[in-house]
Amino acid sequence: MRHVKPAKRLAAARAACLAARVDDAVTIRSAQRTDVPAILEIYNAAVAEPAAAYEDVPHTLKQREDWFDHFMWRNFPILVAEAEGTVIAWGSLGPHQERAGFRFTGSVALYVSEGVRRQGIGGSLLNALLDAGRERKLHVVVAAIDAGNEASLALHIKHGFTEAGVFHEAGCKFGEWRDVVYLQHRMDDRPMP
């Protein structure tokens, strides 16, 4: 049997406790490596949409596995929403930037399968990610959303995010410039770190 470090055991225990029911049919839980193909499928569907996932080509399974492994190595949460054994949505909380001065700032991403949007799943995932941010003592969580993605903007605002600014023509997709709205959610009122 492989020795597991105490910090890894604690992280695994937290992950087990994180599973939560959205309703009788949907569960939010920590992602496992076996979920990566489903995460990839949902992500690549967003790549095909004009107002989401600023990628020129779909990701490969290897790219998503490397991304997953990096998040796990750094102890950043990736959550999935599961219904009847199928992953129907996922979200992640990662670093805003890899500099020490941003260690209290996280960045969220959410992707929901097209057929189950506007059913509260994205909101449940976002709440769980914000809870994970509080657990990590983050002060601010940010989201970068295409200005044309009205549903995602509304979802984040409903859950306490406020607009921090717009980067005009900062993105490019399908041969068009895209405006990116930056939103932020202040997690606490501490005056100093």
* Domain range 6-186, its CATH number among 3.40.630.30, 3.40.630.10, 3.40.50.970, 3.90.420.10: 3.40.630.30
Provide the residue ranges of all domains of the chain, joining segments of one domain with +: 6-186
- Say if CB 76 and CB 20 are below 8 A apart: no
Q: Write the CB contacts of 167 (distance below 8 Å, at least 6 apart in sequence).
A: 179, 180, 182
The model's pTM: 0.84
For 166, phi then psi, to 5°, come to -125, 130
What is the reported pLDDT for 119? 85
Nearest Cα neighbor of 81 from 161, 132, 19, 13 is 19
Q: If the chain, 193 residues long, is cut into consecutive pieces of 10 residues, what is the mean pLDDT of each piece?
A: 39 42 79 97 94 92 97 94 95 92 95 90 95 95 96 96 97 94 95 89
The two tokens of residue 110 are 């959410």
